[in-house]
Structure 1
C-alpha cells in the first residue's frame, strides 16, 4: 500500500487554506513606464519600471491601486526620467525587454519570470501559487534554487545567510534576547539574493519572510493587510543593489566626527556627581573618550526634558565644564508622558497629542516600565512636531549634544501584547503603524533639531526603527547579553557580529552593540573581565562604540582590573588612531549606503565560503577584523579571502582563499591588511580633534599593483557635507623591485580646507633603504624620536627615519596642499 507522508498532508492542507482558482491574464497594456496586467479574478498587477534594472510590483486583489498612507520608507521612484517600456504579446505570454532584463508574463496560469539579458533566470514566481489571497492577507511564492542564498532583513539574530529560516517584522522589546530570537527591535523588510537581486517589501504590517523553511522549493513573503507592494532591484553585485535601495529610501546621514570616538554609559548614569567622576577618571587614566550618556533617570518627569533637581546641582555648568575637557553628553528620550508628570500630561491630553484607545476614544493608558502609566505620544499627528521639538530643545540649549531614542517599539508592545492593537494613531490603526512608530518619532526628533539648530549635525541613536531610518538616525542593537548569568554571555557576544553586519546591509551603517552586553548583574568583576575585554575588542570596531550595562552595573574599563584596563586602553587607542580611515568610510556610507563594518560577502560576492562567515568582517575594504568570541581561546580560525594579506601586528604575509589557525592571547585582536592597503590614521588623542595641527599618519603596505586611498575631510560638525563642502586627498602607492613610489595629490577642496599640518608616512618594507626622495630632492635622515618631536609644530621640513628591526620607514613631509611625490630607492 502506498504510504502518505505527513508533511505532504500538512503542505496540501496549508495550500488548500490559501488556495484560489488559477489566476489567468485577461490582458496587459503599457502606460509610459507602467505595465498593467488585468487578471481573470478582478485582481490586477502593476509593474512600474523605475529604470532598466528596478521594478515596482503592486499586486491588488480587488483591482484598485490604493493605500491608506503614502509610503513611510520610499522617497524617490524616479531613477531614470521619462523611462518608457514596450510590451510584446505572443500566444502564451507577454514580454517586456529593457537594456538589462527580460520580463516574461505568462498568461495561463499567471506568473512572472525575470531573466537577465543572457537568459539566466534571476527571480521567478512559483509555478502553482505565485500569489495567494486569504481575506486581507496576500502571500507570494518564488522559486528557490538549490544554490541560492539570502542576506539582509536588517538587525536579525542567527546566521548572516537567511536561507532555511523564517522571520517576522514586528518591532519587539526583547531584553536579553537569545542568538536565535525573532523578532527584535527593528523591521527592515529588505533582502538580497546571491542571484543578484534585492527585494524591498513596502508594507508596514506584520510581514513575514520564509527562505525555504516551510518549503525547500520556494521562498515567500507575505503581509496580513495593506497594499502588497514590493520593489525588485537588479545589480551586478550587492553594492549596486544597495545603491538602488538608497535611491528608494534615502541616504544615511553622517554623524558628527566625535560620534565615532568612544562613549560610556550605564543604566543609572543619571547624576551630575557620577558623570563628573567618570569624566575625571577617563582623563586621569589617559583612556580616550568623547561621549558620556545619561539614561532616562536624568529627567524630572517622564518625558518633560527637565533635569532631575535632586540629581543635578547645575547641569549647564556641568555640561560647560565637561566640554572644556572634550566630553559631549547625550541624553535619552522616551516616547511617552507619564500621568505622574501631571502638567505635561494634561496639556498633551487636552490637545489630543496621545494615541487613542479605539474602545473609549480616550488617550490609551499605557503601562510603562518606569514612571507609571503613560500616554503614548502620537508622532503621526502633525501638531505634535513643534510641541515635541520645543521640549527637546531645552537640554540642547543647556549644552547637550544629542539624543538616544529608547523604547520606541513602543516598549512592551510585543507579539503577545495584543491589547496594544486597540491603539489608534492619527494615520491609522496600530497594526499598520506599529512598525513605523519609532521611525515617525525619529523623523520628528531630527527635523525639529535641524529647525532649532540650523546646519548643525545631529547625533541621534535609536533602538526601534523601520526602513528609511538612515535618513534620521543611527542604531544600536538593544538589550543584548545573558540576564540569567552575565558570565555566560559568550553566545550573545558572538551573535552580535552577524547581527551588526546584517544591520549594515539593511542601511544602518552607523551602529553599535552595548559593549559588555546590557543584561545581567556583574557580581564578580574579575570573573567577567575576559568577556568584557573580548566584547570591547569587537566593539571598538563598531562605528559608534558605546559601553553600556543595565542598572548600576558599572562597565568603565578600570573596574575590571589592571590587565583589562590596559587592554581596553590599547583597543580604544587603536580606534582613535583609525579615526581618519573610519571617517572616510563614513562619507562612503553617505554616498553609497555601504556600511563601514562589512560582511565579507559584500566585497567577495563570488566566494561561496564567505556566505557562511558570521564571525569576522571587513572594516572598510582594507582591513579584516576577526574578533575572539570564545572563552579561553588559544587559537582563532580566520578565513582570508582572495588576495595577499599581512598580519597587522607582526607583518607576516599570507595568501588568500585559505583558513588559518591564528594563535591568540587575551591581548590579541586578529587584524589583517590587504596587500597594497593605505590606511590613514591620527595620533592618539583623548578626544577627537584634541590636538591642533595634528599630522595625518599614512600607513602603507606596498604592493606591485598600484593602489590608492582617498582621504575624506570636512568640518565634522555641520551639514555642509550635504552640499559637498569637503576636501579629498588622493594617495597612491606602488612598489617594484627597486623602488616604492608614493603620490600624495593636491587636495580636491570644495569649500573646506584642512589645517596647517604634516604628513607622517609609515611604510612597511622588507628591503634595505638606500635613499628617499621628495619631489626629486633627497630627504635628510633623523632619528624617529627627533622626527616626531616637532610633528605638530614645525611645518617646513621633510625628514625620514628607518628601522631595520621593525622594517618600517617613517617620512615626515609638510602638507603644502600641493602634489607631492615620494620615491624610495631600495
Structure 2
C-alpha cells in the first residue's frame, strides 16, 4: 500500500514551511556596510555577513556566515588555483558591482540580494538567497524559463535534470538500469544552458531541488555544513569547464598504462589463478596492462575478512614475486581496499589501539553491522586514522603494488551517530571518499614524487579529480538496461571535472546466462571510453579471453585498436590535465546554439575528432546517429555523412564510429602492453574534405610515467597541419619540447589521405620528390614513396621525419 505522504514528500513539505518563515524574516535583510581585505569583499547585512572571494578567471566564491552557525573547511577549492588578475569594486545607485573577469556580482543593498552577469547578460540571481534554520540551511535562486540544468553527479534521469529533486547523499545502487535518481557519486553542482556553473561547497546530507517543488526556483538544502557557493562563468562550455577546474583542481595526468586493457573480476582467488589468467591473455594474443585483485587477496571468503589488508598467504604465497613477475611482463597490479575494519579481522585491535576508527557518542569505536560483518570505519578526517591507513598502503607500495581501487567509499554504510574528527557523519558524508583519495594522493606523491598515482574510487566530492580520482559507475546490471545509461553517466560527470568516469565493461551484477551480443557491444563501446576494464561477478567470466572464438576474434581487434590509438588517447588525457576537457564530450560542446543537443545522451564526441554512438539494443541493423553539424566519415569504410542525422548500418563487428572532416587520427602498430609504446613508426589518417580547407592537430608524448613531465619540459609535442589549395595539399610538421627518455630520434610516418579523388603528379617532401609506386605490395616494401589506392580513394605517403620542421606537398596533375 502506498502511503499518503512518503518520507521525501514530508521532507519537502517541512523544508517549504521552514523557508516560508525564513522568507518573511529576510524581508528586513538590508545592507549595513562593506570592506575589502586580502583580495576579497565582505558585506555586512542585518542578520550576518557574506564574503565574495575571486577564485580565478570569471569565478567567485560567496560565503555567508552568521554567529553561532558552524562552518566546515572547503573541500572543493584547490589550494594552488590561479587567482590573478583579481576583482574590482564599484558602487552605483544602491548597488555594489564586483567584477572578476567576465563575471560580475551585483549586490543590491535593499532588499539585499546578489545577481550575476556575464558582461551585461544576466546569468543568475539569488531569489531569497541564503537561509538558515535550526535544522536546515541553504540557498534559493531564480531560474529563467527554458533554462536547462545538467549535472548533479551520477544519476540516470536524462541529461537535463530540471524539474528533479535530487538527494545529495552518496549511496550505492546495486544492479541499476535505466532509472536512478540517487547513486554512488552525487555532486552539489549544475551546469546551465545559460553558460554558468553553480557549485554548493557543502559536504553534508542534503537535496538539490531543480525546479521540482517550485517551477522557477533552484533550491539547495543541507542539514549542516559550509554555507558557501561558487559561481563560474565562461563564453563557451570548454572555457566554463576550464574556469571551473581552475577553482576545484585539475586531474593529474595518469600513467600511460591506465589507458590500457585491465583483467578484472570479482574476483581472483589465488596467485595461481592470476598467473593463469595473465597467461591466457598472452596465449590468445590480447594486449594487457593491469590485473585488478578484488577482496580475495586478503581473505578466502567474501565475509569476515575486510580490514585485514594483508596478503592471504595460503592463496598468495609469494605476492612480491608474483607482482615482480607481472611487472617484468609490463603488467601492473591494482588492489582493492575498503575503509571498513571488521571486528573479526586481524587488524581490529591494531586499529582500535591506533585510534584509527570513527567514534560512537560515548567516545569508543563506533561499531555497526553491514553485509560483510560487524565493523568499524576508518576516520580519514583524523590524523591518527590517516597515519594508520597510510602505513598499510606504504607497505604494499614497497611490495610492488602499482595502483589502488577504493571501494565502498560512499561510505556504503554510515550511521548518522558516527562521530568523526571534524563533525558528525551527516556533516561530512559526501566528502569521505574525497578525503580518502586526498590521503592516498598526497602521501604517495610526498614519498614517491616521481610516480603518477592510480586511484580508482566510486565516490567523492567536487574537486576530487585533483587527487587523481578515477571514478566508475558502480555495480551496474549485466543487461541491456545497464549499458544504455553509461554514456549519460560519463558525460554528466565529465561536465564537472571527472573526465575518467567509466563503467564495468560487460556489466557487473546478475546475468544468469552469457549474452554474447550484449557483452561484445559493451566492450566495443569501451574502446572509446576512458578506462578499459571489463569487470563482473565471476559466474560469467568478465575477461574476453575466456569466451567463444567469435567473441574473442571480434574483441581482439577492438582491444588492439585501443592500443593503436594510444597517441590519440594519451593526448586527450594530457588535454584533460591542462584544461579539464573530458575525454568523452557532449555534442553541445560542438554546437552551443542548438538546444536539442543538450538532451543527447546516446552519442558523444571521443576527443575532438571521433563521434561515437554505442549499440545499446539487441539485433539492430542500423543506428540513427545525431550529428552536431559538419561532415563526418565512417571510420570503418569512409562513407560520408552530413546534416543533423545519419542512419549508420552495423553488424556484430561494428558500432557507429565517425571521424570529423579535416581530422588527423594518429596510430601506432600493434603492441602487447603500453610499456612497449613507441611512435617511431607513426600512421596519420587525414580526412580530406572541402569543408575543412585548413586544419591542425597535435599529439603529446612523454615517457608515460614521470610525474609532472610537462612542467619539467620532459615531453614532445608533434604538430601536424594541412592546407587545401587549388593545386593540391600542403602539410606541415613541427615539434616542440625538450624531449624525454626513450624518445625516437626520427620517425617513419605513413600519411593516409582519405577521400582523395585523383593520383598525384608529384609528392614532395622538403625539396625531394618521392617515388610514385604502383600497388600495395610495392608501397609496403618501400622505405619511402607514395601510392594512390584508386578503389579506396586514398593516397598513401611514407616518409622519414627527423626533428626539424618539414613540409610535404601533394601536387595534382
Is the aligned partner of 1:493 residue 2:496?
Answer: no
- Tell me, in whole angstroms, the C-alpha distance in 1 between the residues paired with 2:521 and 2:458: 23
* Structure 1 residues 717-796: aligned runs within 5 Å: 717-721=705-709, 723-724=711-712, 725-749=714-738, 754-756=743-745, 757-764=747-754, 765-782=756-773, 783-785=775-777, 787-788=779-780
Gaps of 5+ in 1: 1-5, 414-419, 791-796
Mark the CA change 1:614 to 1:691 in structure 2 (over 3 Å): closer, same or farther: closer
**CA separation in 2, counterparts of 1:804 and 1:76?**
58
**Alpha-carbon distance between aligned partners in 2 of 1:12 and 1:437, rounded to the nearest angstrom:** 29
Are residue 570 (structure 1) and residue 557 (structure 2) matched?
A: yes
Q: Which residue of structure 2 lines up, in the alignment, with residue 361 of structure 1? A: 363
Q: 5+ residue gaps in structure 2?
A: 1-8, 300-304
SS in 2 for 1:465: coil
Structure 1 counterpart of 2:474, from 459, 472, 479: 479
Identify which range, 679-688 or 314-323, moves more after superposition.
314-323
How do 1:638-677 residues align onto structure 2 when only pairs under 5 Å count? 638-656=625-643, 658-677=644-663
Q: Does 1:134 align with 2:118?
A: no
Q: Which residue of 312, 319, 323 corresponds with 1:319? A: 323
Matched with 1:529 is 516
**2:542 and 2:100 mapped to 1: Cα distance?**
57
> What are the residue-to-residue correspondences of 1:256-271 with 2, within 5 Å?
256-271=255-270
The answer as to whether partners of 2:262 and 2:290 remain within 8 angstroms in 1 is yes
Question: Shift of the alpha carbon at 1:712?
Answer: 0.2
Partner of 1:340: 344
8 A Cα contact 2:785 2:797, kept in partner: yes
1:589 aligns with 2:595: no
Indicate which of 13, 33, 40 corresponds to 1:34.
Answer: 40
Task: Using the TM superposition, name which of 78-87 and 212-221 deviates more.
Answer: 78-87
User: Shift of the alpha carbon at 1:617?
Assistant: 0.6
**Are 1:56 and 2:61 matched, yes or no?**
yes
Post-superposition offset of 1:788: 4.4
Deviation at 1:30, TM superposition (A): 3.2
- Deviation string 1:213-271 (CA, Å, 9 cap, x unpaired) is 22222222222222310011111022222222222121101111111011121102232
* Stretch of structure 1 that moved more, 11-20 or 201-210: 11-20
Answer yes or no: is 1:442 the counterpart of 2:446: no
CA RMSD of aligned residues (A): 2.6
How far did residue 692 of structure 1 move?
Answer: 5.8
Contact 2:721 2:732 in 1 (8 A): yes
Q: State whether residues 458 and 474 of structure 2, in contact with CA within 8 Å, keep that contact through their aligned partners in structure 1.
A: no
The residue aligned with 2:302 is none
Contact 2:210 2:219 (C-alpha < 8 Å) held by counterparts: yes
Aligned residues: 790
TM-score calculated relative to the size of structure 1: 0.90
Deviation at 1:713, TM superposition (A): 0.3
Q: What is the aligned partner in structure 2 of residue 808 from structure 1?
A: 794
> Per the alignment, do residues 151 and 571 of structure 1 end up closer, same or farther by CA in structure 2, a change over 3 Å counting?
same
Identify which range, 777-786 or 250-259, moves more after superposition. 777-786
Relative to structure 1, the CA distance from residue 23 to residue 729 in structure 2 (aligned partners, 3 Å threshold; closer, same or farther) is farther
Native 8 Å contact 1:156 1:503 kept in 2:
no
Distance in 2 of aligned mates of 1:608 and 1:82: 33
1:104 and 2:106 matched? yes
| Superposed displacement of residue 781, structure 1 | 4.2
Whether the 8 Å CA contact 1:296–1:333 is kept in 2: the answer is yes
1:621 aligned residue: 608
Which residue of structure 2 lines up, in the alignment, with residue 794 of structure 1? none
* Aligned residues of 1:154 and 1:505 also touching (Cα < 8 A): no
Do the aligned partners of 1:154 and 1:187 also contact (CA within 8 Å) in 2? yes
Q: Deviations over 1:714-760 (max 9, x none)?
A: 11012032524211111111223431211111343355662243222
Secondary structure of 2:674's aligned partner: coil
Other-structure match for 2:694 = 706
In the TM superposition, residue 481 of structure 1 has moved relative to its aligned partner by: 3.0
Report the Cα offset of residue 105 of structure 1.
2.8
Q: CA deviation at 1:502?
A: 1.0
**Structure 1 residue aligned with 2:396:** 395
SS at match of 2:709: helix
1:44 aligns to 2:49 (yes or no): yes
Which residue of 2 is the match for residue 291 of structure 1? 290
Q: 1:691 to 1:217 in 2, by over 3 A?
A: closer
| Structure 1 contact 784–810 (Cα < 8 Å) conserved | no
Contact 2:264-2:293 within 8 A present in 1 as well: yes
CA distance in 2, matches of 1:341, 1:480: 25
Partner in structure 1 of residue 247 of structure 2? 248
Counterpart for residue 469 of structure 1: 464
Structure-1 separation of matches of 2:402 and 2:254: 12
Deviation by residue 1:450-492 (Cα, 9 ceiling, x = unmatched): 344331111111111111211223333343433xxx4xx2222
| Cα 1:323/1:787, change in 2 over 3 Å | farther
Deviation (angstroms), 1:563: 2.2
Q: Cα distance 1:173–1:14, how it changes in 2: closer, same or farther (>3 A)? A: same
Contact 2:60–2:100 under 8 Å retained in 1: no
Q: Secondary structure at the match of 1:213?
A: coil
Say yes or no: does 1:349 pair with 2:355: no
Q: Assess if the C-alpha contact under 8 Å between 2:698 and 2:720 holds in 1.
A: yes
Q: CA deviation at 1:449?
A: 2.4
2:224 — aligned with what? 225
The corresponding residue for 2:500 is 510
Q: 1:763 and 1:675, CA in 2 relative to 1: closer, same or farther beyond 3 A?
A: same
Q: Deviation at 1:89?
A: 4.3
Deviation of the 1:76 alpha carbon = 3.8
CA contact (8 A) 1:192 1:238 kept: no
Are residues 124 and 282 of structure 1, via their aligned partners in 2, closer, same or farther at CA, if it must alter by over 3 Å?
same
Matches of 1:197 and 1:408, distance apart in 2: 30
